[in-house]
Amino acid sequence: MTCYYSLMKTCSQDQCGRKHYAKGFCGRHYQRHLAGKPMEPAPLINKGQDCSIEDCVSEAAYTGLCQKHYRRHQRYGDTSTVRDTAGANNGRWKDAPGYNAAHLRMGKASDHRCVTCGDPAEEWSYDYADTDELTCPRRGLRYSLKREHYSTRCKPCHRLYDAQVRGGRVWAECCR
């Protein structure tokens, strides 16, 4: 049974104010105590104020910093360090990605129009003209890593285009 007094207790660390968890500490400070780490004061919450970093328009959450800049400070020791994880700097990057990854690298098709009918595009369509063409071993689908071999199409136009190219027929206008 929890007594009323234990619900009112707060962390014994200066400027923390969080609810008591164990041995006089909140959950965060208790974990630091167990790990033998120094007890730093918990960050102050600054709701409603702007981030103190120049040109940042986000609302401050921790010690005058927005969440993004606070996390950077925690991870790297300063707020300006940005870890570049795009492209080849990403640990999971593959030089020869699979079919789905190659299409994802093209970006959002929905930001474009269908090259055939002009409706909003839904998918990237491969033109089957790349000399360095790859084939998906699982599904047998052909694809390319080069963006210039892709166009955006709506689903009906994409299905018709693929069916005609695979069947050896010449492309005709989309019949919807």
pLDDT at 116: 92
Quick one: 151 and 112 in the same domain?
yes
Rounded distance, CA 48 to CA 43, Å?
A: 15
pLDDT at 152: 92
The answer to whether the pTM exceeds 0.75 is no
Judge whether 92 lies within some domain.
Answer: no
pLDDT at 172: 46
Quick one: 154 and 125 in the same domain?
yes
Question: Model confidence over 16-27: pLDDT tens digits?
Answer: 778 888 888 888
Residues 6+ apart with CB under 8 A from 175: 160
- Nearest CA-CA partner of 9 in 22, 40, 34, 44: 22
Question: Model confidence over 48-85: pLDDT tens digits?
Answer: 788 888 888 888 877 788 888 888 888 888 888 777 66
Judge whether 147 lies within some domain.
Answer: yes
pLDDT at 142: 87
Residues 6+ apart with CB under 8 A from 149: 126, 127, 128, 129, 130
User: What total of structural domains would you count in the chain?
Assistant: 3
Judge whether 93 lies within some domain.
Answer: no
| Mean pLDDT of all residues in 141-146 | 88
Residue 52's domain comprises 44-80
Quick one: 106 and 162 in the same domain?
yes
Reading the block at residue 53, the tokens are 């970093």
Quick one: 37 and 63 in the same domain?
no
Reading the block at residue 118, the tokens are 């002009």
